[in-house]
Amino acid sequence: MSELFVVGISWRTAPVAVREKLAFRDDELPGALQAMTAELPVAEALLVSTCNRVEVYGVSRPGADPTGPVRAFLAQQRGLVPADVADVLYDHRGGAAVRHVFSVASALDSLVLGEAQILGQLKTAYGVAGEAGTSGALLGRCLERAFRVAKRVRSETAIARGAANVSTVAVDLAKRVFGSLDGKSVLVVGAGKMSTLAARHLYASGAHHIVVTNRSPEKAEALATEIDGIARPWADLEGLLVEADVVISSTGAREPILTRPLFKRVTKARRWRQLVVIDIAVPRDAEPAIGDKVVAANLAERAKAAEHAARIVEHEAGQFEHWMRAQGVVPTIRALRERFARVADAELQKTLDQIARRDYSAAQQREAIQRLVQLIVNKLLHQPTIALREAPPDEAGLRAEVLCQLFDLQPIAPGEPRDAGEVDDAGDPPREALREPQPAQARGLAEPAPSERKAVT
Q: Known catalytic residue: 51? A: yes
Decide if 426 contacts 434 (C-beta within 8 A): no
**CA distance to 47, 68, 129, 453, per residue, from 29 (Å):** 7, 20, 8, 76
Question: Given 6, 48, 51, 104, which residue is catalytic?
Answer: 51
Per-residue three-class SS string for 245-264: CEEEECCCCCCCCECHHHHH
Closest CA to 290 of 253, 268, 269, 263: 263
| CB neighbour class for 94 (10 Å; exposed up to 12, middle 13-18, buried from 19) | middle
Q: 55 pairs with which residues across the strands? A: 8, 48
Closest CA to 49 of 82, 12, 74, 23: 23
Burial 400-415 (b: 16+ CB within 10 A, else e): eeeeeeeeeeeeeeee
Closest CA to 383 of 418, 419, 344, 340: 340
Closest CA to 285 of 239, 331, 237: 237
List, in sequence order, every beta strand (DSSP E) within 20-157.
Answer: 42-49, 53-60, 90-93
**CA distance to 139, 261, 316, per residue, from 51 (Å):** 23, 25, 27
Closest CA to 318 of 329, 308, 326, 328: 326
The 42-49 sheet, strands edge to edge: 42-49, 53-60, 4-10, 90-93
The alpha carbon of residue 170 and the mean position of all alpha carbons in its chain are separated, in whole angstroms, by: 30
Contacts of 139 (CB under 8 A, 6+ apart): 4, 44, 45, 46, 57, 58, 59, 129
Contacts of 90 (CB under 8 A, 6+ apart): 6, 7, 8, 9, 10, 13
Contacts of 307 (CB under 8 A, 6+ apart): none
Closest CA to 98 of 68, 142, 132, 134: 142
Contacts of 449 (CB under 8 A, 6+ apart): none
Looking at the annotation, which residues are catalytic? 51
